[in-house]
Amino acid sequence: MTPLDLSAAAGAAVLAAEQKSAEVTDWAARIGWLVGLALFVALVYWLMREGWKWRGTLQGDLPELPATPDDPGPAKLEMSGRYHGSTTAGQWLDRIVAHGLGTRSRAELTLTDAGVDVVRPGAADFFIPVAALREARLDKGIAGKVLTEGGLLIVTWEHGGKLLDSGFRSDRAAEHNEWVETLNQMIQKVEETEKVHKKETEGAR
């Protein structure tokens, strides 16, 4: 073998070694990047979970949610859809997480003379008494969730001295208008009854 051949062979060996080294280096970099990404995702998840727990602690003064009465009466309206969360009334980003109100889920709504019964598979059910209802309207966002204009049924109600907005979306969005109309009629009727009762009480003094 001539000196030229030896030189070429040596060069080829060096090149192969460099390529192998580069491959090892690339794998190490990729593994390091993946580990770093996994740690970052875990950190973000942990921070979100701690923030959720902290918010729940701050809302610890919110009483337990009302339970459905034994005899709520016949159904006026029924709805199948999704529950998108609850917030402080008028503040669509101030999410309420206490007592499971922050958990988005499927929901079955039933409206009776007693109020709104919210049944949620896999999450805590709750009941909104008719006396606690304050307003019903259509909106497009709640608890960070944004839909099309009028895509959400928002029910404003009072619980523990605090006004809450709860957002629902029916599987058949055309039902929203009927719910808004019926709920507001019930609210108006309750308010009128309370006014009459107040006048009668004041007149009896």
Q: What is the pLDDT of residues 103-145, one digit of tens each?
A: 999 999 999 999 999 999 989 999 999 999 999 999 998 977 7
**Does residue 45 register a pLDDT over 60?**
no
Task: Provide CB contacts within 8 A for 158, sequence distance 6+.
Answer: 132, 134, 164
Q: Say whether 153 sits in a helix, a strand or coil.
A: strand
Burial 88-108 (b: 16+ CB within 10 A, else e): ebeebeebbbbbbbbeebebe
What is the 3-class SS of 30-90, one letter each residue?
HHHHHHHHHHHHHHHHHHHHHHHHHHHHHCCCCCCCCCCCCCCCCCCEEEEEEEEEEEECC
pLDDT of residue 31: 77
Task: Provide CB contacts within 8 A for 169, sequence distance 6+.
Answer: 81, 82, 84, 147, 151, 152, 153
% of residues, the chain, pLDDT over 70: 72
Q: Retrieve residue 50's tokens.
A: 């701690």
pLDDT of residue 39: 64
| Range in 40-49, 91-100, 158-167 the model is least confident about | 40-49
**Distance between CA atoms of 59 and 66, rounded to whole angstroms?**
16
Q: How far is CA 68 from CA 65, 122, 128, 130, 145, in A?
A: 10, 17, 8, 12, 27
**pLDDT tier at 6, thresholds 50, 70, 90:** very low
**Distance between CA atoms of 191 and 171, rounded to whole angstroms?**
31
pLDDT of residue 147: 85
* 8-state DSSP, 103: -
The H or E element that residue 91 is part of is none
**Does residue 8 register a pLDDT over 50?**
no
